[in-house]
Amino acid sequence: METIIILVFVFGYLAITLEHNLKIDKLIPALVMMAVCWAIVALGVDSFSQWFDSSKHALVDGFSSLVHADKMHLVEETLLHHLGKTAEILVFLLGAMTIVEIIDYFDGFSTIKGYVKTNKKKKILWIFAWLAFILSAIIDNLTATIVLISILQKIVRRREDRIWFAGLIIIAANAGGAFSPIGDVTTTMLWIGNKVSTVMLFKYLFIPSLLCMVVPTYIATFLPAFKGEIEGGDSANEGAKSKYSAIMLYLGLAAIVFVPIFKTVTHLPPYVGMMLSLAIVATFAEVFSRKKFSITSFDSDESDAHAHHSPVHSSLSKIEMPSILFFLGILMAVAALESLGILFGFADSLKESIPLMGTELSGTKVSDMVVMLLGVGSAIIDNVPLVAASLGMFSEGLDDPLWHFIAFSAGTGGSMLIIGSAAGVVAMGMEKIDFFWYLKKIAWLAFIGFVVGSFAFMLMRSFI
C-alpha cells in the first residue's frame, strides 16, 4: 500500500510540474493527490506496519498490534493535527493577501513610483533591486514582484529592456523573502512550524540573502542591457488615485511587520497577530472609504451594494483562492507520506548515504550538499512540497542551522529557472518572458547569487 501511495504522489507531482503542458491548474492534481492518498491510508490502515507521530516526531510503538478501531482513531487524530497546522499557514496567508489588496485598493503602491527619479538604467536597476529585496521581506516575494513589475511597466516602455529588469527583480525578491518569516511561503511554513525564529532567521540569513541579491545585480550592471538610459515612460510621479494612498501603504506594511512582534510577545500562533493586523487595516480602510464598518451583512441586497464600495469586500474578492487550495492539497498530501513514516525513513537513509561535510545533528550529519540540492530542486519543482517534506524528514529543534539553510536554499534556489518560484511564474505571465531566454540570460546570475549566499551561510554558521 505504501508503494501505491508513493506512486499517487509521484504522478500527482508530475501533473503539478507539467501544469502548463497539460493546461490543468495545479490545484486540481494537488487536491486529487491529497484525497486519494488519505483514502488509501484509511482503507489500508491494517496493512501498515508503522505509524509516525508528528507531534512527538517518532514512530508509534506497537502500531501493528493495535486493533482496527484504535488505528482508525489514530488516523483521524493525525489528520486533524495536520489540518490544524495547515490551516494556520492558510489563514495567515489569507490575512496577508487581504492587507496587500486593501493597500492596492487605495493605490498605495503608487507612492513607490516617487523613488524613481532617474533615466539611467544602472540606477534604475539598483533602485528596483533594493525595493524588491526590502518589499519582499515585508509583503512576500510574489506580491513584491507583481507590484514592482506593474510600476516598471509605467517607467520602462520597451519590453526588450523591461524583461532584463524583471529578471533581476525575481532574483532580488526571492533573496529578500528568504530572511523574513513573512517573505516566502516556505519560510513562513518553517516559522509557523517552530523551526526558525524571527531574530535568528535574520541573523543567519540576512547577509547570505543580501549577497544573493547584490552580487548578481552588481555583475548585471556590466552587461550591455543596463548601459545608457531608458526611453521616456509614463510619469513616475503621476498623481495617486486616492489621497490616502501613502497612509494606507505605510499602515499596511507596518501591520504586517507587527505580526512577528506580536508572536514574540504573546507566543501565540502568527495567524492570530495577522488577523489583528487585518482588523486594524480594515477599520481604517472602511473609515477612509466613508462607509460603515461591515465585513458581513444579513441583508444580501445591502451586502451586495456595499461590496461595490467597501475596500474590505473588494479586497477579499481578489484573493487568489487557487493558490490557497493548492497549498492545502500539497501540504496534506505530504502529511500522508509523513504519517506512514516514509519521509522519516528517507531522511535516515539520506544521512547515511551522503556523509559529507554538514551540520552536526543528533549524532549524525546532514550534508550541506543535500540542502543545496534541495535549492536546485526547488528551481525545477515547487519548493512548497520540498520544504513540507523536509519538515517530516528531520527532527531538529528550533533554530537549528539546518532549518535556516533549508529556508535559504528553497527560497533563493528557485530563481535559477523562471518556473522555479512564484515570483518567476508571475513575472513570466506579466511580461511574457520566454523560458529559454531566462535560462540563457538570467539563470547564471541567479546561480552565482545562490552559490555565494550558500557559502556565506556556511561561513557565518561557525560564528553564530
Residue with the bigger pLDDT between 91 and 113: it is: 91
Per-residue pLDDT tens digits for 443-455 = 999 999 999 999 9
Strand partners, 229: 120
* Residue 448 φ then ψ, to 5°: -60, -45
Average pLDDT over residues 140-150: 85
Confidence category of residue 309, pLDDT binned at 50, 70, 90: low
On the question of pLDDT at 59 being above 80, the answer is no
Contact by Cβ (8 Å): 378, 423:
no
Distance CA 209, CA 230 (A): 29
Distance CA 439, CA 451 (A): 17
Average pLDDT over residues 45-55: 81
Q: Which long-range contacts (CB under 8 A, 24 or more apart) does 158-163 make?
A: 158/230, 158/231, 159/431, 159/432, 161/121, 161/225, 161/230, 162/431, 163/431, 163/433, 163/437
On the question of pLDDT at 228 being above 50, the answer is yes
On the question of pLDDT at 232 being above 60, the answer is no
pLDDT of 223 reads 93
Per-residue pLDDT tens digits for 3-44 = 898 899 889 878 877 777 788 888 898 899 999 999 999 998
DSSP result, 283-324: HHHHHHTTS---S--S-HHHHHHHHTT-HHHHHHHTS-HHHH
- Among 96-105, 126-135, 240-249, 291-300, the range of highest mean pLDDT: 126-135
List the single range of 144-148, 201-205, 274-278, 436-440 with lowest mean pLDDT. 144-148
Contact by Cβ (8 Å): 143, 217:
no
Average pLDDT over residues 239-257: 81
Contact by Cβ (8 Å): 208, 457:
yes
Confidence category of residue 408, pLDDT binned at 50, 70, 90: very high
On the question of pLDDT at 414 being above 80, the answer is yes
Residue with the bigger pLDDT between 349 and 459: it is: 459
pLDDT of 381 reads 67
Per-residue pLDDT tens digits for 366-375 = 578 888 888 8
Classify residue 397 as left (phi > 0), alpha (psi -120 to 50) or beta: beta
Average pLDDT over residues 108-133: 86
Residue with the bigger pLDDT between 277 and 389: it is: 277
Residue with the bigger pLDDT between 236 and 258: it is: 258
On the question of pLDDT at 240 being above 50, the answer is no
Average pLDDT over residues 382-406: 81
For the whole model, what pTM was predicted?
Answer: 0.74
* Residue 306 φ then ψ, to 5°: -65, -35
On the question of pLDDT at 227 being above 80, the answer is yes
Average pLDDT over residues 426-454: 89
On the question of pLDDT at 161 being above 50, the answer is yes
DSSP result, 128-157: HHHHHHHHHHHH-HHHHHHHHHHHHHHH--
Average pLDDT over residues 335-350: 73
Per-residue pLDDT tens digits for 284-295 = 998 888 644 444
Confidence category of residue 153, pLDDT binned at 50, 70, 90: confident
- % of residues, the chain, pLDDT over 70: 87
Residue with the bigger pLDDT between 246 and 355: it is: 246
Average pLDDT over residues 330-359: 69
Cell 512577528 locates to: 260
Cβ within 8 Å of residue 221, ≥6 positions away: 122, 125, 126
Contact by Cβ (8 Å): 236, 113:
yes
H or E stretch covering 58 = strand 58-59
Average pLDDT over residues 449-463: 92
Confidence category of residue 218, pLDDT binned at 50, 70, 90: very high
Contact by Cβ (8 Å): 402, 359:
yes
Confidence category of residue 298, pLDDT binned at 50, 70, 90: very low
Strand partners, 120: 229
Looking at residue 206, its amino acid is F
pLDDT of 88 reads 87
- Rg of the chain over Cα atoms, rounded to whole angstroms, equals 23
Distance CA 398, CA 264 (A): 14
Q: Name the residue ranges covered by the structural domains of the chain.
A: 90-321
Cell 554538514 locates to: 358
Q: Which of 392, 277, 405 is nearest to 337 (CA)?
A: 392
Per-residue pLDDT tens digits for 199-216 = 999 999 999 999 999 999
Contact by Cβ (8 Å): 161, 225:
yes
Confidence category of residue 364, pLDDT binned at 50, 70, 90: very low
On the question of pLDDT at 108 being above 70, the answer is yes
pLDDT of 6 reads 87
The per-residue pLDDT of the chain, averaged, comes to: 83
pLDDT of 146 reads 83
